[in-house]
Amino acid sequence: MKANNGSGNNPDRDEWETPQGLFDKLDKQYNFEFDCCANSNNKKVKRFSNNFFEIEEFILYWSWMNPPFSNSKELFEHFFKVVKKGVAIYRCDNLETKIWQDIILPNADWVFFPRGRVVYEGMEGNGSRFPSALIGVGVDPPKYVDGMTCKLKYHRDRRCQD
């Protein structure tokens, strides 16, 4: 078995798309209006950005993000800076990493762990080698996806809730 060389967020996975069935279940609840990291070929909703970093003010509508792995750290930093209501999906096999410890966990309202592995579109094989998680800010956890929610005590201002 080949060991992980630490380059899990590589560009070879940038084009993996959210499975339409999973997205449809989420969209049923959230009615997404904006796809943060998409192009005209893989967008999930009408409004999208192929350069999310150009968005500098708060996005007031419901947003979806499946970030390209190669620059996910920067995209999550920006997501939490500009999105008031949204859901993102990301790999969760290494919760001890800086992206999880320094960016996602302190800023998300909840993390949802779907039951089973997500099979991304555009990848070869029977499923990803790692689990995925849904990450929410300003919205309730998913209702139509089987899995478990972990509500977080930290919010954007990094203070614990009472």
CB atoms under 10 Å from CB of 67, counted, come to: 21
Domain residue limits, the chain: 15-151
Whole-model pTM: value is 0.84
**What confidence score (pLDDT) does residue 48 get?**
87
pLDDT digits (tens, 9 = 90+) for 17-72: 889 999 999 999 999 999 999 888 888 999 888 888 888 776 767 899 999 878 89
In the predicted model, is pLDDT for residue 154 greater than 70?
no
Mean pLDDT computed over every residue of the chain: 83
Burial call 48-61: b when 16+ CB within 10 Å, e when fewer: bbeebeebeeebee
Ordered strands of the 63-65 beta sheet: 47-48, 34-35, 63-65, 86-91, 132-137, 110-114, 147-151
Domain 15-151 has what CATH class? Answer: alpha beta
**What confidence score (pLDDT) does residue 158 get?**
47
The pair of structure tokens assigned to 125 is 């094989």
d(CA 123, CA 101): 27
d(CA 11, CA 6): 13
- Mean pLDDT for 109-132 is 82
Q: Are strands 110-114 and 132-137 parallel, antiparallel or unpaired?
A: antiparallel
